[in-house]
Structure 1
Amino acid sequence: MAQNKPTTDEHYIPQCYLKQFSSDGERIYQYDVLSGKQTPVPVPTKSVCYQKHLYEFRDSSGAFAYRNLIEKSFGIYEGEFAKTFRSVISKSRIEANYHTLCFLSPKEKALLVFFLSTMIVRNPDILQTAQETALEFFGDQITEISARNLALQTCLPIYKALDTEERNLLNPVMWFFEDMSFQIGVADSEVFFTSDSPVILFGTNQPVKLDEVIMPISPNIVLFMKPYDNTRRGFYNRLTELRPEDIKYVNKAVVTHCKRWIYSQTPLTDKQIKWITKERASY
């Protein structure tokens, strides 16, 4: 029996997320904010937001070791992420849920926090920074291959049982989201797009503190997170209808924080492209 070929194109933005912005579950439109060009036809989600061998460990000779270990772990988690997205989208269509004080279940909240956290630490720039930090710290005592392996192990310990006491980067990133409230905002039409950097963080650097988190979930649903305030507890974990100014605020955050690519369910109009260009120029 032939063995399955190992995965080589490893995505830093999961397909299970990008597919929420696809009309057919497979393809998506993309717009390049650097060149100002939009693809004339939608492209497969598997063909965007990846790097070859991004999450692979190597031995001292440079050969792959534990091939696809992290990638396979992501595959398991992403199945749960996809279920959570579908659940949130489905529940958001039920009018009675606008009146509940606990819209998201504890499991849904936990999975969304884990998704946000892994999206941050699986970013190629973060992995590269971790590798460079290891090289700088250990100097001649470490090779580039060993530094890369250490960066993967430190940022993405998802291939083993997670230990909250373990010293890694994933744990403190998840702690950033402790004591934050959840709100799911719903637009009355499909107005949101996303990007190659869809988790948008607002906050101060010293000390590290998150003031707000935004992530579009679908073309008409967005997640907001803010520090929890016990005096306003009735406003948290709610499903809310969004105003035009809320929609503009979300899309502005998306276009000003993207690295290069904006992704959408339908082609961007000339009016949208002009607005994107203006917002990025003034940011």
Structure 2
Amino acid sequence: MTEYTHDEHYVPKMYLKCFAENDLCYVLNNYGGIKQRHITSICYEKDLYEFTSEKGDIIHQNLYEKELFQKLETEYTGYFEELLKVLDNKRMLDSFMDEENTKLLIIWMASMLFRNKVVIDMTKDVGGEIGINWTDAEGKNNAILHNTSMIEHTTEKKFKTHKIVFFENNSDISFVTSCFPVLIMPFENELHRWAMPINDKYYVLLIDRRNDFMKANSIIPMKLPIVDSYNQLMVCNEYSKYAISKDKKSFERYKKHVRGKVK
């Protein structure tokens, strides 16, 4: 197991804007406390986590996030603005989600996902799932997850085996996100699904192409029970230090589900 400590993760500001009003969002901590905060105070809080070898040597410090996310901020701002316009319009989604834009979305999800401790502690297993067979020694080098080639390899593999679908929130409760915004979801006979809220209204899922029940690039309306289930998974993620929402009402509903003592 890795030595794992952190204060709060860097979360890209352009992503947080999708869960904010006038750059202010609500944050729910693991003890049930709810505070309204400016997105900049979340983006740039000091991140303290590091990975150590079995001998105690530091093999990775979190420079990855600072360097990568500054680039993501620039490259993805326009992409997400356009994607949300297309989702609201509902007429141009198939043409917008061409190979390039689909891969861009998978790259984004992979970049967010590979900070999650459940992935970090399963480096060898994660590699095997996407076709990389590491030795035991390589599997213990968790820094391997934090390089561009790993993200690109994962994207190419997932593009061939998976498809994108979207959930549209038709309830009066907002979708919520967290400092680890991508969920890994086992589902029947599929390889693990990836699921990530794009904003308070839309979720993106990366699902197995063999799933015949959902068409690629479709928008599927979701009522309160499904919205509740996804929000509870996000709020209860044991590796997230905090969850993020556009409105306080959502967190009043879910704060009882957090692991710590509710204030």
For the criterion TM > 0.5, the same-fold answer is yes
SS in 2 for 1:93: helix
- Could you tell me the percent identity over the aligned residues? 17
Name 2:166's counterpart in structure 1. Answer: 184
Q: Secondary structure at the match of 1:218?
A: coil
Larger radius of gyration: 1
Could you tell me which of 207, 230, 240 is aligned with 1:250?
Answer: 230
For 1:85, what is the secondary structure of its paired residue? helix
Distance 1:174 1:95, change over 3 A: closer
Structure 1: 5+ residue stretches without partners: 1-8, 56-67, 131-135, 139-146, 163-167
The letter for the 2-side match of 1:243 is: K
Q: CA deviation at 1:215?
A: 0.7
Shift of 1:243: 2.5
Question: For residues 242 and 65 of structure 2, what CA distance do their matches in structure 1 show?
Answer: 25
**2:32 aligned partner, one-letter code:** G
Do the aligned partners of 1:192 and 1:218 also contact (CA within 8 Å) in 2?
A: yes
CA 1:236–1:43 in structure 2 vs 1: closer, same or farther (change >3 Å)?
same
For residues 18-54 of structure 1, the C-alpha deviation after alignment (integer angstroms, 9 at most, x for no partner) is: 2211112x33210113x22111x32334435854476
Equivalent in the alignment of 1:141: none
**Is the Cα–Cα contact under 8 Å of residues 168 and 202 in structure 2 kept in the other structure?**
yes
Which stretch of structure 1 is more off in the superposition, 117-126 or 237-246? 117-126
* Gapped regions of structure 2 (runs ≥ 5): 1-6, 51-62, 124-135
- Per the TM alignment, residue 114 of structure 1 is displaced from its structure 2 partner at its CA by 0.4
Q: CA shift at 1:231, angstroms? A: 5.2
**Amino acid corresponding to residue 182 of structure 1 in structure 2:** I
Q: Say if 1:27 and 1:45, in contact at 8 Å, map to a contact too.
A: no
Q: Partners of 2:252 and 2:27 in 1: how far apart? A: 16
Q: Aligned to 1:171, which of 131, 149, 153?
A: 153
Deviation at residue 200 of structure 1 after TM alignment? 0.5
Other-structure match for 1:65: none
Q: Which residue of 2 aligns with 1:105?
A: 98
Cα shift at 1:106 = 2.4
- 2:42 aligns to what? 47
Pick which of 86-95 and 69-78 moved more.
Answer: 69-78
Partners of 1:82 and 1:36 lie apart in 2 by 31
Alignment of 1:31-180 (within 5 A): 31-33=28-30, 35-39=31-35, 41-47=36-42, 50-52=45-47, 71-97=66-92, 104-123=97-116, 137=137, 151-152=142-143, 154-158=144-148, 162=149, 168=150, 171-172=153-154, 175-176=157-158, 178-180=160-162
Residue 255 of structure 1 deviates from its aligned partner by: 1.9
Q: Does 1:18 align with 2:16?
A: yes
* Structure 1 residues 179 and 187: CA distance shift in structure 2, 3 A: same
1:106 maps to a residue whose letter is E
Write the distance in 2 (CA, Å) between the matches of 1:52 and 1:230. 38
In the TM superposition, what is the alpha-carbon distance from 1:174 to its structure 2 partner? 5.8
Partners of 1:80 and 1:279 lie apart in 2 by: 34
Give the CA deviation at 1:229.
Answer: 2.3
Question: CA 1:10/1:217 → structure 2, altered by over 3 Å: closer, same or farther?
Answer: same
Q: 2:217 aligns with which of 237, 241, 248?
A: 237
Instruction: Using the TM superposition, give the Cα deviation of residue 278 of structure 1 relative to its aligned residue in structure 2, in angstroms.
Output: 4.5
